């Protein structure tokens, strides 16, 4: 008898810090809409909700803990899904400012970006003649000057400050070198096995969204971490569904959501985060695998439990 495949953990990244309101009416930015879309995504099958905050008045990016306070309790009241708070939601703030929401709310998970890099989405600026809000055009067009800073000192600082909270990290790895950075950090005792790695493909500045690269990342991670890691895949833009499907068949977990892609199919905008979750869930189940419940995700990733969060 073939061994039963482990259930696939779906993460949904609800709003992020790349896309802007002009690009899709579905992109949530008020606390009400972020909460409603997060709850709907969990009902559709997402076990983990990866969350950023936005300014309610114009959809701008914010990492102010107060902005998180406006939606976290609502999400907690209405769903059992694991809450994962981003620590990467600003390219201009220091690591101390970026980890402030995770320090304040002590979620079960938070993101941790594993290397410094160019991080750009400026080609998107050419697609729009008019913009809903004043800040958007410059924010997008000037991302060609972004340096996403995640030095070893930043990573160590974040790991040390967050250690008392027993938060599981979503280690965001945008290129093969980031896997080596993570291995180094494990060797100096910053992170305990099993670590959870998000392989990221298709961000301008990181590795491209080809299946060859997924196989290469996975093979490199196998060599570096052996059994000491769990993994998931995030493909940006049109690579989202194809790479998530491939990862689910390679024994990995998947991440979807409007943070990473605004599309539901080639050339067609998604109506909501839940629509993307429902689509990848259907694909996974059609191909004979199961989707993990939040409880199964907690077990697979060794999380502290929803009763130990601070919101």
SS3 content of the chain, % helix, strand, coil (to 5): 45, 20, 35
Show contacts with Zn ion in window 68-107 (CB under 5 A): 86
248 contacts 213 by C-beta, under 8 angstroms: no
**Which run of H or E residues covers position 50?**
strand 48-51
Binding mask 119-158 for ligand KMH (x = CB under 6 A): ----------------------------------------
Q: Alpha-carbon torsion 252, 256, 262, 267, what sign?
A: positive
235 contacts 243 by C-beta, under 8 angstroms: yes
232 contacts 9 by C-beta, under 8 angstroms: yes
Contact call for residue 62 and Zn ion (CB under 5 A): no
Size of the site for ligand KMH (CB under 6 A): 14
197 contacts 179 by C-beta, under 8 angstroms: yes
**Interatomic CA distance for residues 30 and 241, integer angstroms:** 26
Please state the closest distance from residue 198 (CB atom) to ligand KMH, in A: 7
Binding mask 88-117 for ligand KMH (x = CB under 6 A): xx---------------------x-x----
Give the 3-state secondary structure of 119-186.
CECHHHHHHCCCCCCHHHHHHHHHHHHCEECCCHHHHHHHHHHHHHHCCEEEEEECCHHHHHHHHHHH
By a kind-dependent CB cut-off of 5 to 8 A, residue 154 interacts, out of ligand KMH, Zn ion, none, with none
The nearer residue to ligand KMH, 91 or 288, going by C-beta atoms, is: 91
**Interatomic CA distance for residues 150 and 200, integer angstroms:** 15
Contact call for residue 15 and Zn ion (CB under 5 A): no
Contact call for residue 167 and ligand KMH (CB under 6 A): no
Q: Which span sits near Zn ion by CB under 5 A: 9-17, 102-110, 223-231, 303-311?
A: 9-17
The nearer residue to Zn ion, 119 or 229, going by C-beta atoms, is: 119
Contact call for residue 259 and ligand KMH (CB under 6 A): yes
Please state the closest distance from residue 178 (CB atom) to ligand KMH, in A: 12
Which residue minimizes CB distance to ligand KMH? 88
Contact call for residue 86 and ligand KMH (CB under 6 A): yes
Sequence-ordered strand ranges (E) for 78-159: 82-85, 109-113, 117-118, 147-148
Which residue minimizes CB distance to Zn ion? 86
Binding site for Zn ion (CB under 5 A): 16, 86
Question: Which residues here bind ligand KMH, judged by CB under 6 A?
Answer: 13, 16, 18, 86-89, 111, 113, 172, 200, 203, 259-260
């Amino acid at each position: 008898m073939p061994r039963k495949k482990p259930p696939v953990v779906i993460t949904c990244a609800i709003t992020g810090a790349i896309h802007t309101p002009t690009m899709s009416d579905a992109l949530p930015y008020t606390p009400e809409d972020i909460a409603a879309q997060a709850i709907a995504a969990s009902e559709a099958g997402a076990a983990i909700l990866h969350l950023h905050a936005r300014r309610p008045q114009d959809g701008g990016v914010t990492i102010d803990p107060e902005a998180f306070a406006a939606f976290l309790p609502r999400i907690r009241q209405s769903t059992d899904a694991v809450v994962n708070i981003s620590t990467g939601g600003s390219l201009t703030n220091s690591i101390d400012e970026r980890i402030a929401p995770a320090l304040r709310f002590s979620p079960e998970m938070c993101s941790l970006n594993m290397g410094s890099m160019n991080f750009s989405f400026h080609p998107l600026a050419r697609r729009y003649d008019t913009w809903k809000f004043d800040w958007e055009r410059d924010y997008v067009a000037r991302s060609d000057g972004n340096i996403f800073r995640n030095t070893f000192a930043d990573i160590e600082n974040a790991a040390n400050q967050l250690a008392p909270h027993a938060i599981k990290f979503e280690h965001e790895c945008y290129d093969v070198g980031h896997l080596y950075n993570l291995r180094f950090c494990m060797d100096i005792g910053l992170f305990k096995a099993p670590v959870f790695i998000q392989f990221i493909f298709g961000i301008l500045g990181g590795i491209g969204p080809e299946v060859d690269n997924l196989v290469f990342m996975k093979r490199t991670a196998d060599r570096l971490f052996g059994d000491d890691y769990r993994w998931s895949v995030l493909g940006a833009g049109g690579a989202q569904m194809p790479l998530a499907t491939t990862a689910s068949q390679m024994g990995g977990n998947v991440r979807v959501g409007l943070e990473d892609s605004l599309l539901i199919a080639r050339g067609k905008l998604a109506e909501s985060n839940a629509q993307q979750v429902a689509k990848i869930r259907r694909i996974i189940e059609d191909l004979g695998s199961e989707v993990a419940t939040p409880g199964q995700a907690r077990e697979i990733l060794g999380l502290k439990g929803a009763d130990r969060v601070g919101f």
